[in-house]
Chain A
């Protein structure tokens, strides 16, 4: 059974520092991996999707890497801002239907 783990559960950094968020999964036979952002009381916003054949994806200040063989993905957020404060979740899909299995998330606070 696929298990998705995110460590740490919470993280606080000063503004301007780079953020590094980790996600690990137990079964390397994934279809893709997605990173989401969730603000309090809101739904999830998709940040990046990495296909199993890809090593990384980039969007603005965000970069996500994928190492399937070791069951890891890392989300980097450069030059963090207070507006980056949110919970970040990773999710893996293990079939073509696209159903997702989520990690518990990392709660990030960026202090001014």
Chain B
């Protein structure tokens, strides 16, 4: 049974470039969460979806960040333009409505130079 899949695992880009992070949730899960982890701020929730609909994006730091979920098996988190302070590990997690247990992907380590 495949877990949450994220790509790429590592991304190095220059300031000002567009970055797109991808996530495939576990099949049958109808909630998807995007988190960011940094040493300074720990794990922070950015946005989450239920049945592909964004429910709460209050954690998205700026308008430079956007997220979409075009179907039940795919979501993207886009940063445009990227800045060095966006450097972090970005995690995607999913869960089913019936349970509250969240399953995390391996994360994407983003470095913006």
A residues within 8 Å of B by Cβ? Answer: 31-32, 34, 36, 42-46, 49, 51, 89, 91, 93, 97-105
User: Which residue of A is nearest B41, CB measured?
Assistant: A104
- One of B63-71, B76-84, B102-110 contacting the partner: B102-110
- Return the CB mask of B93-113 against A: 1 if under 8 Å, else 0: 101000111111111000000
B113 → chain A, closest Cβ, in Å?
20
Q: What CA separation (Å) do A31 and B101 show in the bound complex?
A: 12
A1 → chain B, closest Cβ, in Å?
12
A102 touches B55 (CB 8 A): no
User: Which residue of A is nearest B91, CB measured?
Assistant: A43
Within 8 A of A (CB), among B40-61: 42-43, 45, 48, 50, 55-56
B56 touches A100 (CB 8 A): no
Cross-chain pair count, CB within 8 angstroms: 52
B42 touches A104 (CB 8 A): yes
Q: SS class of chain B's interface: helix, strand, loop or mixed?
A: strand
Q: List 20 A-B contacts (CB under 8 A).
A: A31-B100, A32-B100, A34-B100, A34-B101, A43-B107, A44-B93, A44-B104, A45-B104, A51-B100, A93-B100, A97-B31, A99-B33, A99-B45, A99-B56, A100-B33, A100-B43, A100-B45, A102-B42, A103-B42, A104-B42
A98 touches B31 (CB 8 A): yes
Query: A36 contacts which chain B residues (CB < 8 A)?
Result: 104
Known contacts A34-B100, A34-B101, A43-B91, then 14 further A-B pairs from the complex at CB < 8 Å, ordered by chain A residue: A32-B100, A34-B102, A36-B104, A42-B107, A44-B91, A46-B103, A49-B101, A97-B55, A98-B100, A99-B33, A99-B48, A100-B43, A103-B42, A104-B42
